[in-house]
Amino acid sequence: MRYLAEVAPQTVRVAQSAAPALPDGHVRVQVAFAGVCHSDTARVKQGRGPFPARIGHEVSGTVTESTDPAVPAGARVVAYVEDGYATELIVPAWRTVPLHPDCSFEDAALAEPLACVIGGIEMLDLAHEPEVVIVGAGFMGLMALRLLVAGGHRVVVIEPREVARELAVKWGAERVLAPDDVTPDMMQASSVVVEATGAAGGLQLASDLTKIAGTLGVMGYHQSNGGKRTIDMESWNYRALKVLSLHHRDPHDVLRWIDRAQRLSAHGFLRPSELVDTTVTLDELPAVFAGETSYSAIKTLLDVTGEPAERGA
């Protein structure tokens, strides 16, 4: 088996080892695709370790061996793991989700981030809201947009990159603005604002847009500057903001949402693979972690389907 290993600060390389034996209650998964998550690239950039380490948590593939009759060999699955940049994985059977026949491996690999968006959006009380504002139209922000539009919501998107603004228009945003286009009358005027940038500036803008007694939902994954942010708590206190972290860590919740995500894709309601603009092989993956991807890129997908059989042994 071949896999990506984080071996030192800011250093990853492709390694190879013998495939281990399969424990009881586990399955062996031949990886098809793995989504490259910003949280992984940011982790490598920070170089905090520990080393060596395996990373990757957006994975689809086929079960080639099983010691759990509930997940037989031949099953197409999403694997909810933390070592997914590999040709092969050993996964507890309960951490897999079987795929609908009409869900592609590409969409299945991106079911985990879509699941995170599903769980986050469900934390928001939108029954009486005329509009939702999303700050940031990266991969997660665009999926949140699509999910909200599918529910009939009017959505305003604020995003600095032209290519992402164009995608937001195609994916149904009511209005799309660059940050410089935000007018003074928009400040402290929105009931529900979702921050999906993971950057200090995006969080500040989202906060500034939220009205008195409004809801600020933090969907962005904040890792720069060690995750530290400076917030005007006096303003938050005065406006009595409801601030929600739209993240989840209960694996059973995430697995349930992964199942919903892959079925949304199977039925054509939301196909996250449509946002993939860069596809790489395992040997090309270290260059992605070295920062050799465009600022305008929306989503990178690792394609393991072309790995020669002898190299996966």
Q: What's the mean pLDDT when you consider all of the chain?
A: 95
Q: What percent of the chain has pLDDT over 90?
A: 92
Instruction: State the angle between helix axes of 251-266 and 111-121 in degrees (0 to 180), rounded to the nearest 10.
Output: 110
- Condensed to tens digits (0 to 9), the pLDDT of residues 143-172 reads 999 999 999 999 999 999 999 999 999 999
Q: CB within 8 A of 127, min separation 6: which ones? A: none
Q: CB within 8 A of 186, min separation 6: which ones? A: 209
The whole-number pLDDT of residue 312 equals 36
- Counting Cβ atoms within 10 Å, is residue 151 exposed (0-12), middle (13-18) or buried (19+)? exposed
Q: CB within 8 A of 292, min separation 6: which ones? A: none
The whole-number pLDDT of residue 295 equals 66
Confidence of residue 296 (pLDDT cuts 50, 70, 90): confident
**CA dist., res. 116 & res. 155, Å (int):** 19
Confidence of residue 292 (pLDDT cuts 50, 70, 90): confident
φ, ψ for residue 7, nearest 5 deg: -105, -15
Q: For residue 122, give the nearest of 206, 49, 188, 219 by alpha carbon.
A: 219
Confidence of residue 308 (pLDDT cuts 50, 70, 90): low
What per-residue string of b and e applies to 255-283 under the rule 16 or more CB within 10 Å gives b?
bebbbebbbbbbeeebbbbbbbbeebebe
- Mean pLDDT, range 55-75, rounded to an integer: 98
Name residue 214's amino acid: G
Indicate left, alpha or beta for 45 from its phi (over 0: left) and psi (-120 to 50: alpha).
Answer: alpha
Q: For residue 265, give the nearest of 33, 92, 85 by alpha carbon.
A: 33
In the predicted structure, residue 135 carries a pLDDT above the cut 70: yes
**CA dist., res. 124 & res. 216, Å (int):** 9
Q: How many residues does the chain have?
A: 313
Q: What pTM value is reported for the model?
A: 0.95
Do residues 96 and 78 make contact, with C-beta atoms less than 8 angstroms apart? yes
Q: For residue 276, give the nearest of 147, 142, 153 by alpha carbon.
A: 142
The CB-side HSE value for 123 (13 A sphere, CA atoms) comes to 21
Confidence of residue 313 (pLDDT cuts 50, 70, 90): very low
- Mean pLDDT, range 36-46, rounded to an integer: 93
